[in-house]
Chain A
Amino acid sequence: MLPESLQTFEDAAGLDAATPGAIVDGQHTRGELALEIAPDQIIPALRYCKSQGRYERLSAITAVDWYPVEPRFEVVYLLHSLARNTRLRLTARVGGTAAEIDSATAVWAAANWYEREIFDLFGVRFRNHPDLRRIMLPDDWEGHPLRKDYPKTGSRV
């Protein structure tokens, strides 16, 4: 549900009309518009932003781990429109023991490495990613360091 206060924002209203039910929540704080999207609707939402919203650039994709809240992972898409000089943040919450979300590589080629990084450091898997391997850590590394339940110090037992 798009909050009442965000109806005036062109991006939010347009996205809500184009993909009904995709927007779960949203807020506009400190001059930044952030919309939470249902995870199964993320690809249509990104496609809409790229074509109609004229967000040509995917600045980055990242994630935040809200452990122990479920769904714990918040995947964050940072979009940038050069034509309109605006930025938009889409988020999607995924969780469970095998967190998964569709890959944005079909929309922006740039998503490739950012998704590999999230897979590597958070353990979120991206469906239909062409080359989902670890990018920062060695391939035989165990665990995903940026998870909140991954300790910073100590030895393996």
Chain B
Amino acid sequence: MPDLLTEFEHEEVIAAEAKEYHPRRMVLNMGPQHPSTHGVLRLKLELDGETVVKAEPDIGYLHTGIEKEFESKKYQQAVTLTDRIDYLSNLSNNFCYALAVERLLEIEIPPMAQWMRVMLVELTRLNSHLVWLGTHALDIGAMSMFLYCMREREDILRIFEMFSGQRMMTSYIRIGGLALEPPRGWHKRITTFIDAFPSKVDEYEDLLTENRIWIGRTKGVGVMSVPDMLEWGVTGPMLRAGGLKYDARKENPHSSYEHFDFEIPTRQESDVYARYRVRVEEMRQSARIVKQAIDGMPSGRWTADAPHVVLPDRDKMKTEMEALIYHFKIVTEGFRVPEGAVYQVVESPRGELGYYVVSDGTAYPYRVFVRGPSFGNLQATPKMVEGTLLADVIASIGSMDFVLGDSDR
């Protein structure tokens, strides 16, 4: 067993090794406060001239102990924690957690709630991809992209606010369905947005797709082979940009995804440019899904018929004794979840998002493990940037689209 080195000693060892064998090498510290690390990622880079010889990502600056916190919240209360894991795709996290617990409870979600969930999760994907595109382009120097992307993102956040009262920490997808009845006028609001959206994507593509500077900075940069990505646990658009057509929405359809018609965009080059093209195409596909969801939205209840899990309506509470009892019991002691464990996976904007929920039969989760896609993707950073130029590191890590809250939890 090797002795554990402290952070400081470890750096000294790297520096000493670098000096001993390679007098020209230097160790460069990037982050954790570097603007292009999108949060607090730190990279220790060993350089030979401008070439990166060794890279070592250092995470944990945003570790908040969310998994520990889960264990002292009731199942329904814990939904609010899932928002805060990946703060750019909060509804995907609500969604995945709710699906996992619903599988433990074995309750059926009505079609209207399922479709509504799909629609909101796809809007979340647009939201997340827009932030990614804006900041990634900003890192590489295309400043105007950021303004375009934030303009559309604002519309999406307003839609979320309309549904849940919150722009970012929505907690709208709950165990047993949705938190509230969809608001009056949601139909028109989303239709207006989604009809205009494809033309907005055209605008982004006009600015970047054939832009010679953009191509120069992204083509052939950050290449990683598919076997390497599988070995290192990379998922999502990065894998698809390498030609592997895998998407959990198609392969393991959950929550009515099988009723939607959409394509899984792939590319072969597996470089930063390919990842950009895949994500832009994904935005178009998500817009298609949202459109289909609006047109075919089934009518019915937004919560499951499971009185021991879902809070009763206010009017029933005032007229029916049983509803009142259920309300009292759910609020005071929560609901018990049968013993067992499930691993539920959804396709988040970043890749495979998984919730491993273990229940010991009480009203509190015994253990919740969140398999954040960013954690797996970040782990492969050395594989991707070693041997490339320092300036390409920014483009490469930008193309991973990680959120540190998701990896550090």
State the A residues within 8 Å of B (CB). Answer: 29-30, 32, 34, 56-60, 62, 64-65, 76, 78, 80, 82, 85, 87, 89, 108-110, 112-113, 121, 125, 127, 131-140, 145-146, 150, 152
Min CB–CB distance B353 → chain A (angstroms): 11
Could you tell me the distance between the alpha carbons of A56 and B60 in the complex, rounded to whole angstroms?
27
User: Closest A-chain residue to B8, C-beta based?
Assistant: A139
Residue in B1, B59, B244, B252 whose Cβ sees the most chain A Cβ within 10 Å: B1
- B367-A64 in contact (CB<8A): yes
User: Closest A-chain residue to B245, C-beta based?
Assistant: A82
* B contact residues around A133 at 8 Å (CB): 4-5, 10
Residue from A125, A146, A152 within 8 A of B72 (CB atoms): A152
- A145-B68 in contact (CB<8A): yes
- B343-A32 in contact (CB<8A): yes
* B contact residues around A121 at 8 Å (CB): 67
Which of B209-217, B227-235, B300-308, B328-336 interfaces with chain A?
B227-235
Residue from B68, B232, B246 within 8 A of A82 (CB atoms): B246
Min CB–CB distance B390 → chain A (angstroms): 23
* A contact residues around B69 at 8 Å (CB): 152
Min CB–CB distance B110 → chain A (angstroms): 20
Min CB–CB distance A103 → chain B (angstroms): 11
- B6-A78 in contact (CB<8A): no
- B232-A110 in contact (CB<8A): yes
Min CB–CB distance B235 → chain A (angstroms): 8
* B contact residues around A80 at 8 Å (CB): 352
* B326 lies within 8 A of chain A by Cβ: no
* B366 lies within 8 A of chain A by Cβ: yes
Min CB–CB distance A101 → chain B (angstroms): 13
* B contact residues around A64 at 8 Å (CB): 358, 366-367
Could you tell me the distance between the alpha carbons of A131 and B231 in the complex, rounded to whole angstroms?
18
A56-B230, A78-B371, A135-B60 given; A140·B6 CB < 8 A? yes
A85-B252, A87-B343, A109-B231 given; A145·B4 CB < 8 A? no
* B contact residues around A82 at 8 Å (CB): 230, 244, 246
The contact string, 1 if C-beta is below 8 Å from chain A, for chain B 367-384, is 101010001100100000
- B341-A59 in contact (CB<8A): no
- CB < 8 Å A-B pair total: 96
Could you tell me the distance between the alpha carbons of A108 and B376 in the complex, rounded to whole angstroms?
12
Residues facing A in B211-270 (CB within 8 A) are 230-233, 244, 246, 251-252
Residue from A29, A76, A127, A146 within 8 A of B1 (CB atoms): A127
- B231-A108 in contact (CB<8A): yes
A127-B1, A136-B59, A146-B68 given; A110·B356 CB < 8 A? no
Min CB–CB distance A142 → chain B (angstroms): 13
* B contact residues around A140 at 8 Å (CB): 6
Residue in A87, A112, A127, A139 whose Cβ sees the most chain B Cβ within 10 Å: A139
Could you tell me the distance between the alpha carbons of A30 and B379 in the complex, rounded to whole angstroms?
31
* B185 lies within 8 A of chain A by Cβ: no
* B140 lies within 8 A of chain A by Cβ: no
Min CB–CB distance B402 → chain A (angstroms): 13
Could you tell me the distance between the alpha carbons of A113 and B382 in the complex, rounded to whole angstroms?
13
Chosen A-B contacts, 19 in total, with CB atoms closer than 8 Å, are: A29-B340, A30-B106, A30-B342, A34-B341, A62-B356, A64-B366, A76-B356, A76-B369, A78-B354, A78-B371, A82-B246, A87-B343, A89-B341, A109-B231, A131-B2, A137-B60, A139-B6, A145-B68, A152-B68
Could you tell me the distance between the alpha carbons of A78 and B65 in the complex, rounded to whole angstroms?
22
* B contact residues around A58 at 8 Å (CB): 233
- B379-A110 in contact (CB<8A): yes
Residue from A78, A113, A152 within 8 A of B379 (CB atoms): A113
Could you tell me the distance between the alpha carbons of A32 and B72 in the complex, rounded to whole angstroms?
26
A78-B354, A82-B246 given; A60·B60 CB < 8 A? no
- B369-A60 in contact (CB<8A): yes
Could you tell me the distance between the alpha carbons of A89 and B354 in the complex, rounded to whole angstroms?
13
- B246-A30 in contact (CB<8A): no
- A59-B233 in contact (CB<8A): yes
Min CB–CB distance A5 → chain B (angstroms): 16
* A contact residues around B252 at 8 Å (CB): 85
User: Closest B-chain residue to A60, C-beta based?
Assistant: B371
Min CB–CB distance B247 → chain A (angstroms): 11
Known: A110-B379, A132-B2, A139-B7. 9 other contacts (CB 8 A): A30-B342, A60-B376, A64-B366, A87-B343, A108-B231, A133-B10, A136-B59, A138-B7, A145-B68
* A contact residues around B72 at 8 Å (CB): 152
Could you tell me the distance between the alpha carbons of A82 and B242 in the complex, rounded to whole angstroms?
15
- B379-A112 in contact (CB<8A): yes
* A contact residues around B103 at 8 Å (CB): 30
* B contact residues around A85 at 8 Å (CB): 251-252
* A contact residues around B352 at 8 Å (CB): 59, 80
- B343-A89 in contact (CB<8A): yes
- A78-B356 in contact (CB<8A): yes
* A contact residues around B1 at 8 Å (CB): 125, 127, 132
* A contact residues around B59 at 8 Å (CB): 135-136
* B104 lies within 8 A of chain A by Cβ: yes
* B187 lies within 8 A of chain A by Cβ: no
